[in-house]
Amino acid sequence: MGRRICDLRRHLRGLIPLMLVPVAFAQQPHQHGVVALNVAIDQRVLFIELITPLHDAAGFEHWPPGDEGEQAALDRAVGVMSDPHSVFSIPAAAKCKLKEVDVKLPGDISAAGDDFSAEPTAPDPEGEAHVDLTILYRFKCKAPANLAQIRVHLFRLFPDLQSIQANLITDTEQNFQDLSFAEPVIFIAR
Ligand SMILES: [Zn+2]
């Protein structure tokens, strides 16, 4: 994952300091039921970083999985989220092709010098350790001007989810969007 973040930095340069704000925020104890999406569009490249509490994706939150049932639940969640077509609807007119999916499990070892820690976050005041699951998707789009919205299917996939908070960065705008059950769509000014 460290390498991926380096790739992000290389691709996005000036945009990346903004992009990393919510990532750093995600290192704080997260809130259950809340998924963070960092979306960046740089010319023809579309990056989406999905950060979910492990609890919301797999129904448990500690690392490693404690038994076969938890392992199966984790595998199921990773399997679903590894297929971007299950998670997102991207306008066909934008002609985006998936180039890469990178799943970062909580137990992954960070590369030396990586400032993106894979360790579980600090316990909350009640002493509970929090664990995130992070997935990075990279697309290449032939017609990015048509990338006017991205519909997100996470409410359907994870019924316990209460909120999807998207942080959007393009070369012309940066904003936060709180996606609703009724219209779980990220709108992009083009
Ligand atoms: Zn948690």
pLDDT digits (tens, 9 = 90+) for 90-103: 999 999 999 999 99
The DSSP result for 122-133, as a single string, is: PP-TT---B-EE
Which residues are CB-contacts of 95 (< 8 A; sequence separation ≥ 6)? 141, 142, 143, 146
pLDDT in tens, 134-175: 999 999 999 999 999 999 999 999 988 999 999 999 989 999
Distance (Å) from CA 179 to ligand 1 centroid: 20
Range of the structural domain that residue 109 is part of: 2-187
Say how many domains are in the chain. Answer: 1
Å from CA of 26 to ligand 1 middle: 11
Task: Look up residue 120 and give its DSSP letter.
Answer: P
Instruction: Find the 57 Cα to ligand 1 centroid distance in Å.
Output: 11
Q: 74 CA distance to ligand 1 centroid (A)?
A: 15
CA distance 32 to 15: 28
Which band of pLDDT confidence, cut at 50, 70 and 90, is reported for residue 23?
A: very low
**Ligand 1: distance of its center to the CA of 64 in Å?**
14
pLDDT at 107: 75
* Length of the chain counted residue by residue: 190
pLDDT digit string, tens, across residues 49-81: 999 999 999 999 999 999 999 999 999 999 999
> How many beta carbons lie within 10 A of that of residue 118, not counting itself?
18
Residue 19 has pLDDT above 90, yes or no: no
Higher pLDDT, 23 or 185: 185
pTM, two decimal places: 0.80
Q: How far is the CA of 51 from the centre of ligand 1 (A)?
A: 12
Cα of 34 from ligand 1 centre, angstroms: 10
Mean pLDDT over 114-131 rounds to 57
DSSP-derived 3-state class of residue 91: coil
For residue 140, the cross-strand partners are 45, 97
Which residue type occupies 80?
A: V
In the block, residue with structure tokens 């519909």: 151
Report the distance separating Cα 95 and Cα 27, nearest Å.
Answer: 34
- Which residues lie near ion ligand 1 (Cβ < 5 Å)? 53, 61, 130
Cα–chain-centroid distance for residue 147?
18
